Amino acid sequence: MIALFVTLDVRPEHRDRLVSAIGSQAAASLSLEPGCLQFDVCIDSADPNRFLLYETYEDDAALEAHTSTPHFAVWREAAAVCVARQVNIVTTILDFGRTTA
């Protein structure tokens, strides 16, 4: 499995637009992409204009498919205006025999 960590520093004047756009992106990713297993949106407790996303995907192909969706294109348009800085870290999840509840 693949985990994607995204840090977004948002322009304060565009924060509301970003919240709407990322909410739509997360919902569409979870409902329309079978390979998207998790899409959490968090706000930094120390900085209300810093968002942290935690996304998990079945594999590299699912992550690649995610970036080719129409809702991702809409998200990128909003991010181009709203986001001052973005850092993406793609990781591989190690499986230590965890079970899900």
**Domains in the chain with CATH codes:** 2-92 (3.30.70.100)
Over residues 41-50, the pLDDT tens digits come to: 999 999 999 9
The CA-CA-CA angle for residues 61, 64, 68, to 5°, reads 130
What distance in Å separates the CA atoms of residue 65 and residue 21, rounded to the nearest whole number? 19
What distance in Å separates the CA atoms of residue 11 and residue 25, rounded to the nearest whole number? 18
Over residues 28-38, the pLDDT tens digits come to: 999 999 999 99
**Sequence-ordered strand ranges (E) for 1-101:** 2-10, 36-43, 50-57, 83-92
User: What was the pLDDT predicted at 32?
Assistant: 97
Over residues 10-29, the pLDDT tens digits come to: 999 999 999 999 999 999 99
Evaluate if pTM is beyond 0.95. Answer: no
Instruction: Give helix then strand counts, H and E, for the chain.
Output: 3, 4
